[in-house]
């Protein structure tokens, strides 16, 4: 395809515009993104009151819940932003460096 002069792109016909590639949309469920994390939230179940503020504010849906109670953190998708830790008023979440975490 011949490209029209770049300084005249406002006169291009639709078929003259360069073509690109657009990937299919996905969700974090389909892509493991936790490897981006340098800090990780650690949950203390005994201190947790199940107020669910961490669940409400988590941008990655990484707070796991069952029967209206927190059950853990999905580290495959948690990116370590710390919003959950910041919002916890009961000290049930703490933030630690990823390289200090005990990996099970």
Which H helix or E strand runs over 72? strand 69-73
pLDDT in tens, the chain (104 residues): 455 556 676 787 888 777 776 767 666 667 788 888 999 999 999 999 999 999 999 998 999 999 999 999 999 999 999 999 999 999 999 999 999 987 65
What's the whole-model pTM score?
0.71
* Spans of all domains in the chain: 32-100
CATH of domain 32-100: 3.30.70.20
Q: Tokens 């703490």 belong to which residue?
A: 94
């Amino acid at each position: 395809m011949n490209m029209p002069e770049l300084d005249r792109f406002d006169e291009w016909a639709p078929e003259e515009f360069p073509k690109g590639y657009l990937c299919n949309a996905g969700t974090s469920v389909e892509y493991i993104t936790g490897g981006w994390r340098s800090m990780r939230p650690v949950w203390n179940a005994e201190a947790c009151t199940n107020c669910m503020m961490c669940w409400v504010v988590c941008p990655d849906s990484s707070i796991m819940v069952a029967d209206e109670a927190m059950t853990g953190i999905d580290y495959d998708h948690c990116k370590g932003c710390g919003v959950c830790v910041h919002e916890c008023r009961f000290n049930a979440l703490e933030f630690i460096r990823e390289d200090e975490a005990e990996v099970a």
